[in-house]
Amino acid sequence: MRKVLMVAIGAVVLAAAALILMWRPGDEQAVVDVPPARTVSPEPQAPAESRYVAPLPILPPVLEGEPDAALEAPGSPPDPSIAPPDETDVPGLPEAQSAPPEDPLESQPSGLTNISGSFFDDLAHQIVAGYHPPNSEFNPQAQGRLQFHFSSLNRRYGMDLVGLDHQSPSLIQGREEIFRNLLQPEALETIWVLFVPVFEQALDEAVLTGRWSFPAQGGSSEERGLNIQEQQEFYRLLSGSVAALSQAVQAYADHQDAPALMARWFQAQTNAYAAHSRYQLAETELLTSQEEAPDDQVRILAERLERDAAAQGIMQAIAAREQARRELLEIFATGRSRPDLSESELVYLAEWLHRRTHAHPERTQALRHMADKFRELSLRLNPGS
């Protein structure tokens, strides 16, 4: 009888071991009702060498302190009262392996508390909104146009702080906190690893789901998405813009006289504003003299001479400002070619870079690192370029 009992126990143990070996994660999950998928129109087929053929899976942006929900398996959480079998006591099973390394997207690194994935998600949608396909409502030309301005983006993220955060008591101090923490090579490298995939995915989503208006016959308009050629043109134009931005940032960081040229430009602007103010005051004084003392020719003559001198001062100040502007733009003409940006964009960019570095020259290395990442991003956006 004891022998029969021992044989039965052994059979149970062997059966349990076989079940454990054959068990696969997810077998214990209950069957749930899945709602029917939405029926969508088939996507157009892309020609050879096309970068995007079908929509990519849409993942939520990784925010600070939040786990990546897309990496979690669906289903109800396991019941903590049900403990897994102790595999170490089962003969014939391999030793338990160590846990896999933590996914970098699941943890927010220290020093990046000022930025989140929502910044890059919003930026992607802002850029896509600036694309005007050929023969569309705002672009009757045969070539597409991509329009987004540094000034408008700076106002959006410098004033509204979309996707940005700080712990300082004022907006000015908050911006400095953000730049202090993020404008350094180590932080930029971490941002590149964590958030560039978020940015690229947000671009893909916005391009694939956006709708543009195209004029139709009879004065009506048609709302539709972008075809494959228009999608490819968008990425080509964006790649070129990012490459030009990389070139401009690199040129500014490498130009030794950039701080001096910027100081001269700001002083020339101040002098021009002062010359205009002087002229307006002299014009007001002359009109006042003519109204209050029309017979006082000496006073009127003196006011007229001051007004004329102020007008001459405006002309001189404008000429000096234009000279300072030309010298400033020479910063971007020292390389192989000038960046494909307008003069006003280059001046605005130089002013922005100067404000970030004039009191912190050590940040120049971060600018070079930023230029490298822009160059790499340009190649990722349009690998065939």
**Residue 55 scores a pLDDT above 50:** no
Give the pLDDT confidence score for residue 334 in this predicted structure.
62
Average pLDDT over the chain, rounded to an integer = 78
Mean pLDDT for 122-136 is: 96
**Residue 105 scores a pLDDT above 70:** no
DSSP-assigned states of every residue in 135-159: TBTTB-SSS-EE---HHHHHHHHHH
Q: How confident is the model at residue 93 (pLDDT cuts 50, 70, 90)?
A: very low
DSSP secondary structure code for residue 224 in this structure: E
Portion of the chain with pLDDT greater than 70, in percent: 70
Give the pLDDT confidence score for residue 234 in this predicted structure.
97
d(CA 321, CA 329): 12
**Residue 119 scores a pLDDT above 90:** yes
The neighbouring-strand residues paired with 146 are 131
Lowest mean pLDDT among 11-20, 207-216, 246-255: 11-20
Q: Which residues contact 91 (CB under 8 A, 6 or more apart)?
A: 13, 17
Give the pLDDT confidence score for residue 14 in this predicted structure.
43
Q: Among positive and negative, which fits the CA dihedral 73, 79, 83, 84?
A: negative
Mean pLDDT for 268-293 is: 96
Q: How confident is the model at residue 385 (pLDDT cuts 50, 70, 90)?
A: low
Which of the two residues, 110 and 320, has the higher pLDDT score? Answer: 320
Give the pLDDT confidence score for residue 280 in this predicted structure.
97
Q: How confident is the model at residue 176 (pLDDT cuts 50, 70, 90)?
A: very high
Asked if 61 and 116 count as a contact pair (C-beta separation under 8 A), the reply is yes
**Residue 35 scores a pLDDT above 80:** no
Extents of the domains making up the chain: 117-255, 259-333
Q: Tokens 């925010």 map to which residue? A: 63
Burial class (CB in 10 A: 0-12, 13-18, 19+), 217: exposed
The neighbouring-strand residues paired with 368 are none
**Residue 13 scores a pLDDT above 50:** no
